[in-house]
Structures are given as C-alpha cells and as structure tokens.
Amino acid sequence: MQSDFSDSSFRASAVTLPPWLIAELRTDHAGETGAVFIYKGILAVSRCEKIQNFALRHLETEQKHLQRFDAILEPGVKSRLLPLWRLAGFLTGAIPAIFGAQAVYHTIESVEAFVETHYQQQIERLKTDVIVSSPALIEIKRILRECQEDEIEHLEESKAKLSDKIGFVTRCWGHMVGFGSSAAVRIVRLI
C-alpha cells in the first residue's frame, strides 16, 4: 500500500529527517527523474516494438517512483540541477537506442546495478540509525525497499534479454553509465 506523503509531517525537512537522509532522498529524486528521461530518450529514438514496450513498462514504474520521492521532498530540498539530470537521462536512453536492443538492455543493466546498490546502502544506514523508530523513517525505509525491488526486476529483465556476447564499445558504454551514475549521486548530495 503506497502511503500519502502530502501530510507535512512526512515531508523531508531539517526538522523531521536527519541531514544525511535528506541528501540521500535528493539523490533518489534526481535519480528517478533521470530514469524517467532515460526511457523517454529510448522511446524518442527506438523504432523497435519490443524495445518500445520494454521502455513503456519501465517508464510507468519509474514515474511512480518519481511521484513518491516528489511527495516526500519539499521543493526547496530537491536538486537544483534537475534540468541537467533530465538531459543526461534522455541522452543515456537515446544514445544506446540508436545502436539497438542489446545496447539498451546493457545500459539499463548498468544503471539498475548501480541503483540497487545505492538503495541498499540507504536501507542499511536506516537500519543502524538510532532514530529509526520514527514513523517517517520506517515509512521511508519501506518505500526504499519497494523501489529497490522494482529496480531489481528491471535489472533481471535486462540481464535476461542480453546476449552472451557484449561488444567492447557497449561494455565501455556500460562502465561510463555506471561511473556517471556514481558521479551524479556525489554531486546531487550537495546541489
């Protein structure tokens, strides 16, 4: 059951949530923004019906994730670089779509492998945080787990669709995507 974060007591602010968690939720919001635009980029370029269906299904999930984080974070807490993350996401989807299904699947695998780990680190920190008994933190941990489960499904689906032979350029692209995701998180924690 998805909760309603319209109640201001669940909104991220310096008063209700620890600063480290606000920074992490900002990364989640920016990341889900980027994810929505990855799939929009794929849809803008790909003419393959299988890839379009794949992107549409995943886009729907990522939009739901974005709505959840959008409801948690107050506007002033969100990344000021959202236009950059939209562009980066769009290009991260559009570029591999030019090269076909295997490039798209490898891109999604690379992104989702990073996201699974990123969510897990947040969940682990919430487990050890002294104030986890707060209803807001318990709810946020639940949301993180649910989003992580969806991202793992995307990862597994992408892996299953990949051929055994990934070309050198596609492998390099996947490493760039993983590195870019990690760099973006470091930036978004601050801005």
Q: What confidence tens digit (pLDDT) does each residue in 81-135 have?
A: 999 999 999 999 999 999 999 999 999 999 999 999 999 999 998 887 655 567 7
Q: Are 126 and 137 in contact (CB under 8 A)?
A: yes
pLDDT in the model for residue 167: 87
- Compute the average pLDDT of residues 144-162: 95
Superfamily of segment(s) 14-188:
Alternative oxidase (1.20.1260.140)
Residue 147: burial class (beta carbons within 10 Å; 0-12, 13-18, 19+): buried
Scan for tokens 């949530």, then name that residue.
17
pLDDT one-digit tens code per residue, 38-68: 999 999 999 999 999 999 999 999 999 999 9
